[in-house]
Amino acid sequence: MQRFAHNSRRIFSLLLVLVLLLPCFAFAAEQPVRLNSLIKADTEQLEVRFLTTPTNAKSDATLVICHGKEELQVIVVDGGLGNGVCFLELANLRKALMESLGLGDEVKNKNYKLALTLFITHFHKDHVEELCVNILPSSLFTIDAIYMPPATALVTDGTYNNTKNGDIKYRPRILDLVKHHTPSTSVYELEYGQTLELALACGNAKIYAPLEDWGIGDKLKYIESVYYSGGNVLKRKDEVPNVVLNANSEWLHVSLGDYSVLFTGDIMKKKGDRSDEALDLMANAYKDEVISDIVKYPHHGIARNPAAPIVKNQLLKKDGIAVITTDGARAAAGTHLEMLGTSYVTTEDGSYTFIIDEHGITCHLVE
């Protein structure tokens, strides 16, 4: 009898321990699973998806998916307008990857995270709104790192009124969202003139920060006189106006073997008789190393005619292809590229995917 009592006490203690440990087991089960680490490719491949831009919408979002032998890396180059296009593409990518891993039943389980790397060319609505409204707040993703250009004329000496600086509309908002939703994310805010090389899950990337700040001194005066004089004066709502952020776009060059892709953000070129505008200076400073097979045309393709020869002669390889991301009504670039005998595609027709591997580049349109 005594022995029985002793045993039952032991069983009771054991049960108690188990009950106390239960939350730990539950906690262990809730540890997030990084899907990227489960996906290993046999052959390295870069997949570049320029996402569709519906007619009359100026939006910019591209996924660069590196199918590496150790893991999969997903780089979001800008996210576009907050219209859900980029979010849906990423959610569908996560779903497809989970299905390929036999985890189709777990798609609704938010512990399975797709890790993303975010690259921001500049802080304009048509490039970053989707990050704010759909991607950063989503629990489907985790953000490894975020790369962004240096702040524009954010001075503390009273030279400018920062509340009238176009740069603060999205930059602080994104930094706040990162702090709130994904505090462990590494944030890389480059310096003017800085370049940064990165090894990707397959291939390499190099980031080119703007050379100088177009939001101060003579550079700001140039922007004011060319873009905001005469009838355009009312367009200048801020002391550091919109076009400054365009001119300060950060570039991204991604390569695998001999093939590469260049993202130029909304860098500006307006005057054919000048060679010191933002696009000229970047193209001249980084010459041979940025020449690519695929170039995201500056400023969606609405950059003025003088940009086309620079794209053709300084940014694209001989048989390269430019990608334009605005609707035909506003795209000036297409006609000019055609006249120069340079090929281009436009995301107005749908999403364009380029697959790059050791054999070359293939292109697919998803309407």
Instruction: List contacts with Zn ion (CB under 5 A).
Output: 126, 266
By beta-carbon proximity to Zn ion, the closer residue of 126 and 250 is: 126
By beta-carbon proximity to Zn ion, the closer residue of 301 and 306 is: 301
> Least distance from C-beta 114 to Zn ion, angstroms?
26
H helical segments located in 238-277: 242-247
Residue 111 and residue 83: Cα distance in Å, rounded?
A: 25
CB neighbour list of residue 3: distance below 8 Å, 6 or more residues apart: none
Query: Could you give the dihedral angle defined by the CA atoms of residues 232, 305, 293 and 203, in that order, rounded to the nearest 10 degrees?
Result: -20
> Least distance from C-beta 299 to Zn ion, angstroms?
6
How far CA 12 is from CA of 1, 9, 20, 26, in Å, comes to 16, 5, 12, 21
By beta-carbon proximity to Zn ion, the closer residue of 134 and 246 is: 246
By beta-carbon proximity to Zn ion, the closer residue of 249 and 314 is: 249
By beta-carbon proximity to Zn ion, the closer residue of 126 and 357 is: 126
Query: Could you give the dihedral angle defined by the CA atoms of residues 217, 218, 219 and 224, in that order, rounded to the nearest 10 degrees?
Result: 100
> Least distance from C-beta 247 to Zn ion, angstroms?
12
By beta-carbon proximity to Zn ion, the closer residue of 6 and 330 is: 330
How far CA 250 is from CA of 36, 187, 204, 224, 264, in Å, comes to 26, 15, 17, 21, 7
How far CA 246 is from CA of 116, 148, 249, in Å, comes to 24, 13, 5
> Least distance from C-beta 121 to Zn ion, angstroms?
8
> Least distance from C-beta 145 to Zn ion, angstroms?
23
By beta-carbon proximity to Zn ion, the closer residue of 36 and 264 is: 264
- β-pair type (186-189, 259-263): unpaired
> Least distance from C-beta 80 to Zn ion, angstroms?
9
CB neighbour list of residue 317: distance below 8 Å, 6 or more residues apart: 291, 292, 293
By beta-carbon proximity to Zn ion, the closer residue of 265 and 320 is: 265
H helical segments located in 80-216: 85-100, 125-130, 171-181
Residue 69 and residue 257: Cα distance in Å, rounded?
A: 15
> Least distance from C-beta 27 to Zn ion, angstroms?
44
> Least distance from C-beta 183 to Zn ion, angstroms?
29
